[in-house]
Amino acid sequence: MGHAPQAAAPILSRVPPWLRHTVSVRAEWNSCALERSCFGPMHDPTPAVPFHHLAVRLDRPPMKMGFKAEGRRSDTDLPHDHISVIPADASITSWWNRPVDFACLYFTPQAIASAVGEEMLAAANWELRLVLAVRAPAMSQLIRSLAIDAAAGQPYGKMRGDAMFQQLATLLVADGRVLGSTRYKAGIGDRRVRRALDYIHANICDELSLEAIAAASETSLFHLTRLFREATGIPIWRYVSRLRVHLAIGLMRDHTLPLNEVAASSGFTSYSTFAATFVAERAMSPSSFRRLS
């Protein structure tokens, strides 16, 4: 019996064929590929592909860009220390208002698992989120370093690029703003609780209220409070606090982020609230935890 032919590996590029001439640098490593391109303005649909896409812009002049996906629209000026994230299998309409110099990094879901290990990633239970712009100085600098290595012709071979990608993947899987667990829904049969959890995870970095969570779950706060505790074993407020602390721990891996920015990016209204919650959950202060990690 003959063997079935293996599927061809995807070509790691989101630049459409009619714009390939705008790619000034392209390099491939064992784990990822990078392209530097400059084109625009544009306003076009971007079809889904089976690999992830992170982008930073390399130029400094003011610009505006945005996307529309899943019925929602986002706009940004994509600051220099921010990244854009388009997960595998996401189809969006994107635009920007002038020619923009981008460095775009492409990698498969399997590449993340290989870089950080299945135990850390729990690959079957995680999914990359669609994010137009998120401040991530360490990740944006690593993408720029890969672009420099590519432009220099990869003088150290593929090993240096793969090492940088491993650093980036480690930061990525710890950042709850862009990588979220789907495990929280496993075994929860009540759709009202699942809707509440979806809303909490989608808005964890923003101000949350019990009333808004109940409205998203399409039930009363009285009933949701009971159902939520039965399904998760803890009240809603405790779940939100634990999730924000978990997000903060991931952000603290980026040592360029001050702790007050970690607090704000994790959805805490003040540093004092963040510190008190962190101590309650981890029995040590955020600064002590960061020193030990």
- Per-residue confidence in pLDDT tens, the chain, 293 aa: 445 444 455 689 999 889 999 999 999 999 999 999 999 999 988 889 999 999 999 999 999 999 998 777 889 999 999 999 999 999 999 999 999 999 999 999 889 888 877 665 554 456 788 889 988 888 999 999 999 999 999 999 999 999 899 889 888 877 767 766 666 666 677 889 988 988 888 788 888 999 999 999 999 999 999 999 999 999 999 999 998 998 888 788 777 789 998 898 888 999 999 999 999 999 999 999 998 87
Handedness of CA 6, 173, 71, 55 (dihedral sign): negative
- Is the CB of residue 221 less than 8 Å from the CB of residue 236? no
- The pLDDT score that the predictor gives to residue 124 is 43
- The pLDDT score that the predictor gives to residue 117 is 74
Question: Domains of the chain, with CATH numbers?
Answer: 17-180 (2.60.120.280), 184-292 (1.10.10.60)
SS (H, E, C) 227-259: HHHHHHCCCHHHHHHHHHHHHHHHHCCCCCCCH
Global confidence as pTM: 0.74
- Is the CB of residue 241 less than 8 Å from the CB of residue 273? no
